[in-house]
Amino acid sequence: MKKTFFAAAAVIAAATTQPAVAADIPVKARPPVIEVWTWDGYYIGANGGYSWGRSKTTAQFFNSGTGALISTSTSKFNLDGPIAGGQIGMLRQHGQWVWGVEADAQWSGQDGSTNFTCPVPVVGGPCNNITGGPGVGVAPTATFNQKLAWFVTGRARLGFLPHPEWLVYGTGGVAIGGIETDGVITGVTVLGAATSNAFSYDVVKMGWTAGAGIEGRISGNWTAKLEYLYADYGHVRGSGALPTNFPPLRVQFDSRVTDHVLRVGLNYKWGRPPQ
């Protein structure tokens, strides 16, 4: 009887102490997962800044009745103003080199103006045929206003990583701009009365752009950048007329429009941010 009791007690003791022994065995912890920041991926963002544009415009006054060229003058003026917009792109990283493409669209407040004059001698001349009475010696003029209302670019990007989270890059590609032009031509009628006529023309011009920038990771999947671009939109041509002038006039305009863009941007890259 005693042997049976002691045997049962031993079985119970073994059953109750076995889990405790197993629980005391240390479990090896998993090593922490360390993710490395990469520039690979798609991104979207917003930007803002300021642009210093330039218009070199030549105005030619013609006698619209005979087609004869009367005078030519050239004026250079600024097209300055704030800009704001957004961008979307893709980057691929190979070691310390990063390449990709980006497209952006910008609202622009850049505008400027100038004036042109068709010279007139004291009495009469090809711009004003009046030789006496009211209106004699009055020189016809053309006010000229120009605006870069918006622009978009499509560019390649190629950069180098001086630090894993800092990208220094060059960029270049196509620039497309909406350029709006308007003004008023004033002169005198055959009776010497003041007369004027407005003109306007809007064009979309394709040109090229190139620049450079620096971009860095600020937190998670967010990056910030500082970027400079130079854009050349080529020549913008248009005309205005003042048929009531004496003689009737036509003014032909030819503008070479360029732009210097400086902007800051904020991008978000798709993907899980490093821990």
Q: What is the pLDDT along the chain (275 residues), one digit of tens a residue?
A: 444 434 444 444 444 444 444 445 555 666 655 567 899 999 999 999 999 999 999 999 999 999 999 999 999 999 999 999 999 999 999 999 999 999 999 999 999 999 999 998 777 789 999 988 888 989 999 999 999 999 999 999 999 999 999 999 999 999 999 999 999 999 999 999 999 999 999 999 999 999 999 999 999 999 999 999 999 999 999 999 999 999 999 999 999 999 999 999 999 998 755 54
Of the candidates 69, 101, 54, the one whose C-alpha atom is nearest the C-alpha of residue 230 is 54
Amino acid 22: pLDDT:
42
Q: What is the 3-state secondary structure (H, E, C) of the chain?
A: CHHHHHHHHHHHHHHHHHHHHHHCCCCCCCCCCCCCCCCCEEEEEEEEEEEEEEEEEEEEEEECCCCCEEEEEEEEEEEEEEEEEEEEEEEEEECCEEEEEEEEEEEEEEEEEEEEECCCCCCCCCCCCCCCCCCCCCCCEEEEEEEEEEEEEEEEEEEEEEECCEEEEEEEEEEEEEEEEEEEEEEECCCCCEEEEEEEEEEEEEEEEEEEEEEEEEECCEEEEEEEEEEEEEEEEEEEEECCCCCCEEEEEEEEEEEEEEEEEEEEECCCCCC
Q: What's the predicted TM-score (pTM) here? A: 0.84
The Cα–Cα gap between 106 and 163 comes to 30
Backbone angles phi, psi at 123, to 5 degrees: -130, 115
One of 2.40.160, 1.10.3470, 1.20.120, 2.60.120 is the CATH number of 39-269, namely 2.40.160
Do the Cβ atoms of 39 and 98 come closer than 8 Å? yes
**Domain boundary assignment for the chain:** 39-269
Amino acid 28: pLDDT:
61
The Cα–Cα gap between 125 and 246 comes to 10
Of the candidates 122, 234, 147, 138, the one whose C-alpha atom is nearest the C-alpha of residue 185 is 138
Task: Characterize the bridge pairing of strands 166-188 and 141-163.
Answer: antiparallel
Q: Is 208 exposed, middle or buried (0-12, 13-18, 19+ CB in 10 A)?
A: middle
Residues ≥6 apart with Cβ < 8 Å to 58: 72, 73, 74, 253, 254, 255
